[in-house]
Structure 1
Amino acid sequence: MNNIFLITKREFLTQVKKKSFIILTLLAPILIIAFGAVIGLMFKANESHNIIEVVDKSGWFKGQLKSSDQLNYVFIPASSEKAKINNLKENESLDGILVLPEIINHDYENFEKNTTLIINSKIGFDTKQRIISDINNVIKKEKIKQLGIVEAQLDNLDKSFTLKTINVSENNKEDSDLTFGVKTGLSMVLMYVTFMFIIIYGVRVMRSVLEEKNNRVVEIIISSVKPFELMMGKILGVTLVALTQFIIWIAMSVAGALVLNTGFSSLQKNIPGGSEGLPGRMDVAQIATQVSHSLLELNFPLIIFVFIVFFLLGYIFYSSIYAAIGSAVDNETETQQFTLFAILPLTLGMYASFSLMNNPDGPLGFWLSIIPFTSPVAMIARIPFGVPAWQIALSIGLLLGTTIFMIFLSGKIYRVGILMYGNKATLKELWKWIRS
């Protein structure tokens, strides 16, 4: 036991003393936010602005088709239709001509058949759907007017309905759309971070074992400690490194949420007229305040506890597999035939967990969060939405038992494989090592 502690301490101190660890730990949250902002800017930069000239032969659509930032309607007289179409190919400043035929006796079927969009280059699918939607909205209004409904009544028909939801299982808290969005976002972040860290740090353990094996350093180490102690020391050392990063990030996240919640709230109070004094009722400050407030309303102690427990057990479970793989092969090329068995179940659990957002208490969510191969990511995906205590306890128990069993199997492989050279391991060979 003392040897495991010493190896764990060595692995931990070796990693955390690196400048790269300190820099990445402090800058990673900022880099993630910056990465998301860059992705958003890329989507924004790729948005198209289309100019469409409209030939409105019925006169119904002028003033009804509203231009937007992405789509600009320019109405032209019907007499210039042919000339415009003939010159469209050479007109680089124009994206297309929308020809809306005359509507006779409210024959909308004939109108649809003869409506044409002539373009001189490819337009996006979203742009085409927006044009269709704009035309549909105008026709819909005309059909409603035929029924004798005035504009005020039409606006009243389109008025949305807001449903207030009270969750009795969460002390009668209001479960708003914003709260659901915050829970969904938190669920996806925690799930993805767990998935990535298990793979990244698991592969790090495998490469560390493989490097020491190829350098024959392990032969010297084995003379002082048992193979099982060496394997567990490496796994636990890297586990503490990952846990240290998570604790720092959790502290930064909670502190950031508190700053947003109190800072923006006090800012709004000091502005004359409160939120009315801000440029827009839903500006960035208000959204940030509401999001941070929704985050702080969640059961953070339980979420953090479940996150840490399932990450640790899941990481040890999969890292023991990676350590066994590293000891069983002689180079990284040979690891590819075995790493699929470690990555596939976890990947299946992650992608299947995306379907849990709309029904976290469904049968798929239950079984994914109970089965040990997928529970490290599935349970973390469910926890922001609330999970019964007995399911959490059952999942932890099964994952803990399976992790201990996997450590035992990996230790058997590690004990033999770490000193094997030049012998290409196969599944049949691994089974012999386990049975020995």
Structure 2
Amino acid sequence: MNNIFLITKREFLTQVKKRSFIILTLLAPLMLIAFGSVIGLMFKANESHSAIQIVDKSGLFKNQIHSDSKITYTFIPTPNEKSEINNLKENESLDGILILPELHNQNFDEFTNNTRLIINNKIGFDTKQKIVSDITNVIKKEKIKHLGIAENQLNNLDKSFVLKTINVTENNKEDSDLAFGVKTGLSILLMYVTFMFIIIYGVRVMRSVLEEKNNRVVEIIISSVKPFELMMGKILGVTLVALTQFIIWITMSIIGALVLNTGFSTLQKNLPGSSEQITNKLDVAQIATQISHSLLELNFPIIIFVFIVFFLLGYIFYSSIYAAIGSAVDNETETQQFTLFAILPLTLGMYGSFSLMNNPDGPLGFWLSIIPFTSPVAMIARIPFGVPAWQIALSITLLLGTTIFMIFLAGKIYRVGILMYGNKATLKELWKWIKG
């Protein structure tokens, strides 16, 4: 046990003293925010603005279709139709001309068949759908008016219904759409981080074992410690490195949520700019405040507990597999035939967890979070939505038992494979090592 502690300490200190570890730990949250911002800017940069002229022969659309941030509509007289169409190809400031025919005897089928959009270049699918939506809304209103329904009745008819939900298991707290969105976002984030770090740090253990094996350093080390102690020391050392990063990131996240929750209330009182600008800024500030408030309303102690426990057990479980793989092969090329056994269950758990967002308590969510091969990511994906205590306890028990068993199997493979050179390992060979 003392040797395991010494090896764990050495692996941990070797990793955390690296400048790359400190930089990555402190900058990773900022890099994640920057990455998300860049993705948002890319979508924003790809948005297009179209200029469309409308020839409204029916007279129904002039005061009912309005320009917005995506399309600028300009109505032109009917006599100008032919000349504008003839000049469209040379008119670089105009993207198209929408021809709306006359409406005879409320024959909307004939109206639809005779409507044309003439363009001088390709327009985006979103732009075309926006034009269709604008026309459809006007036609819908016209059909309803033809039935004798007044404008105020029409507006009341289109008014959406808001359903408030009260969760009796959470002290009768109102469960809003924003709160559900926050839970979903947190669920995806925690699940994806767990998935990525189990793979990243597991591969790091495998490469460390493989490097020491190829350099024959392991022959000297094993003269002082047992192979099992060396394997466990490496796994636990890298586990503590990952846990240190997570504790720092969790602390930064909670502090950030507290700052957002309290800081925007002060910001709202001192916003410069016009009334419209202030309104827009207030909207952004209020949304950010609501998001941070929804985050702080979650049961963070149980979320953090489940996240750390399942990450640690899941990481040790899969790192044992990676350590065994690293000891059984002679180069990274040969690892590809075995790493699939570690990646596939995790991938199944991650993609399966996306489908349980709308029904976290369904049978798929239950079994994915109970089966040890998928529970490290599936249970973490479920926990923001609330999971019964008995299910958490059962999942931890099964994962802990399976982890201990996997350490036992990996230890038997590691004991033989770490000193084997030039012998290409096969599944049959690994089975002999386990039996032996």
Q: Answer with 158-167 or 313-322: which moved more.
A: 158-167
Structural mapping, 1:119-268, within 5 Å: 119-268=119-268
- Residue 266 (structure 1) shift: 4.0
Question: In the TM superposition, what whole-angstrom CA distance separates every residue of 1:8-44 from its partner, at most 9, and x where no partner exists?
Answer: 0000000000111111111111111111111111111
Residues 268 and 282, structure 2, Cα contact 8 Å, conserved in 1: no
TM-score (norm 2): 0.96
The residue identity in structure 1 corresponding to 2:5 is F
2:170 is aligned with what amino acid? E
Aligned to 1:294: 294
* Local SS of the residue matching 2:37: helix
In the alignment, the residues of structure 2 paired with residue 284 and residue 380 of structure 1 have an alpha-carbon distance, to the nearest angstrom, of: 30
1:279 Cα shift? 2.0
List gaps (5 residues or longer) in structure 1. Answer: none
How far is the alpha carbon of 1:281 from its aligned partner? 8.0
Q: What amino acid sits opposite 1:26 in the alignment?
A: L
The residue number in structure 1 matching 2:365 is 365
How far the C-alpha of 1:240 sits from its partner, in A, is 0.2
Alpha-carbon separation, structure 2, partners of 1:114 and 1:421:
78
1:87 CA drift (Å): 3.3
User: Quick check: 1:48 aligned with 2:64?
Assistant: no
- Alignment partners' CA distance in 2, 1:398 and 1:78: 75
SS of 2:287's partner is: helix
The alpha-carbon deviation at position 276 of structure 1 amounts to: 11
Alpha-carbon offset, residue 182 of structure 1: 0.8
Of the structure 1 ranges 122-131 and 365-374, higher mean CA displacement relative to structure 2 is found in: 122-131
Alpha-carbon distance between aligned partners in 2 of 1:335 and 1:271, rounded to the nearest angstrom: 58
Q: 1:254 to 1:67 in 2, by over 3 A?
A: same
| Residue in 2 that maps onto 1:313 | 313
Q: Which moved more, 1:343-352 or 1:51-60?
A: 51-60
Distance, in Å, in 2 between the alignment partners of 1:17 and 1:431 is 39
Mapped partners of 2:270, 2:109: distance in 1? 58
1:388 corresponding residue in structure 2? 388
| Residues 277 and 47 of structure 1, relative CA distance in 2, 3 Å threshold | closer
Return the alpha-carbon distance in structure 2 between the equivalents of residues 206 and 104 of structure 1.
76
- Measure, in 2, the Cα distance between the counterparts of 1:152 and 1:92: 41
1:112 counterpart residue number: 112
Q: CA deviation at 1:408?
A: 1.0
SS at match of 2:395: helix
Shift of 1:333: 1.1
Q: Deviations over 1:99-130 (max 9, x none)?
A: 11111101001111121222222221111111
- Quote the residue 1:422 is aligned against: 422
SS at match of 1:279: helix
Q: Distance in 1 between matches of 2:35 and 2:320?
A: 32
Q: What's the CA shift for 1:271? A: 7.8
Match of 2:397 in 1: 397
Write the distance in 2 (CA, Å) between the matches of 1:110 and 1:352. 48
Aligned ranges 1:327-338 → 2 under 5 Å: 327-338=327-338
CA shift, 1:78, in A, is: 2.4
Counterpart of 1:78 in structure 2: which amino acid? T
Task: Indicate the SS of the match to 2:89.
Answer: coil
Partner of 1:378: 378
Q: Which 10-residue stretch deviates more, 88-97 or 53-62?
A: 88-97
Deviations 1:330-365 (A, max 9, x none): 111111111111111101111111111111011111
Please list the CA deviations of residues 239-270 of structure 1 after superposition, one character each: whole Å capped at 9, or x if unmatched. Answer: 00000000001111111111111222344467
Q: Helix, strand or coil for the counterpart of 1:98?
A: strand
- Mapped to 2, the partners of 1:382 and 1:246 lie a distance apart of 19
Structure 1 residue 145 displacement after superposition: 1.1
Question: What's the secondary structure of 2:72's corresponding residue?
Answer: strand
Query: More deviation in 77-86 or 40-49?
Result: 77-86
CA shift, 1:98, in A, is 1.5
- Taking structure 1 as reference, are residues 330 and 200 closer, same or farther at Cα in structure 2, changes over 3 Å only? same
Unaligned runs of 5+ in 2: none
Match of 1:98 in 2: 98
**Residues in 2 aligned to 1:74 and 1:280: alpha-carbon distance in whole angstroms:** 27
Q: CA deviation at 1:290?
A: 1.0
> 1:146: how far off?
1.0
3-state SS, counterpart of residue 73 of structure 1: strand
Report the CA distance between 1:80 and its aligned residue.
2.8
1:346 aligns with 2:346: yes
Q: Can you list the C-alpha shifts for 1:225-250, whole angstroms capped at 9, x where unaligned?
A: 11111111101000000000000011
Q: CA deviation at 1:308?
A: 0.2
Structure 2 match to 1:36: 36
Find the residue that maps to 2:52 and give its secondary structure: strand
Distance in 2 of aligned mates of 1:282 and 1:124: 32
Distance 2:83 2:204 in 1: 67
Return the letter of the residue paired with 2:78: A
Deviates more, 1:101-110 or 1:57-66: 57-66
> Larger deviation: 114-123 or 275-284?
275-284
Change (3 A) 1:96 1:278: closer
Q: What is the alpha-carbon distance in structure 1 between the residues aligned to residue 287 and residue 82 of structure 2?
A: 50
Give the SS at the match of 1:53. Answer: strand
SS in structure 2 at match of 1:7: helix
